[in-house]
Amino acid sequence: MVDQGNPDKHAPGDLFLVQRFVNSVEFDVPQDELSTPEALRGWFAERDLMRPDEPVTEGDLRRALDVREGLRALLFANNGDDVDEPALERLNRAAGRACLVLRADGGSPRLESEAVGVDGALAQVLSRVSTAVADGTWERLKACALDDCRWAFYDHSKNRSGKWCSMETCGNVHKARRHRAKQRGQAAA
């Protein structure tokens, strides 16, 4: 199982599921919880997003990974980076299969999926994104600015200026790299 990092950087409520989904891969190890269709089924079934006996194909896995990496691209944008348009195109294509519809039954309207299986599970993840956008928590979910990390973290800072999943590790690595680059530049002059 992929380590979920510092609990102080966990997203609140249902947004934590989105964070967990994005963090189902560690790039520096590398370790991916969603490496096979069976692993994807298990991941969704453990979180009650689909039944453990539903079929999952390679195409389902590719769509799930497109959603995961499209969400990561949005989290980089939340951290001030440019938007990765191809990743968003793949996310939008995969999201189109989720069949999200608005349900109102006397309570608050909510997005639900008419899809089953992986598409229904992805719809549940995406509906949490929609809720987070509406309640103002989405913009605080970010991807770590360190290229070899890319971990999703929740920015609890008052001024929403967090850039790193951990200042002690990724922030310090970034500062050290910047310092070494500056030193090399001065040595060349």
What pLDDT tens digit does each residue of the chain (189 aa) get?
455 666 778 999 999 999 999 999 998 778 999 999 999 999 999 999 999 999 999 999 999 999 999 999 999 999 999 999 999 999 999 999 888 888 888 777 888 888 899 999 999 999 999 999 999 999 999 999 988 889 999 999 888 888 888 766 686 665 666 646 666 666 666
Residues with Cβ within 8 Å of residue 2, at least 6 apart in sequence: 23, 24, 25, 26, 31, 32, 33
Confidence (pLDDT) at 1: 47
Segment (H or E) for 101? strand 100-103
Q: How far is CA 66 from CA 32, 59, 94, 169, 185, in A?
A: 14, 10, 7, 28, 39
Domain boundaries, the chain: 7-188
What architecture is domain 7-188?
Answer: Orthogonal Bundle (1.10)
Residue type for 84, please? D
Confidence (pLDDT) at 161: 84
As given in the structure block, the two tokens for residue 87 are: 């990743």
SS3 of residue 100 by DSSP: strand
Q: How far is CA 24 from CA 79, 115, 133, 142, in A?
A: 19, 23, 22, 15
How far, in Å, CA of 4 to CA of 10, rounded? 8
Confidence (pLDDT) at 4: 60
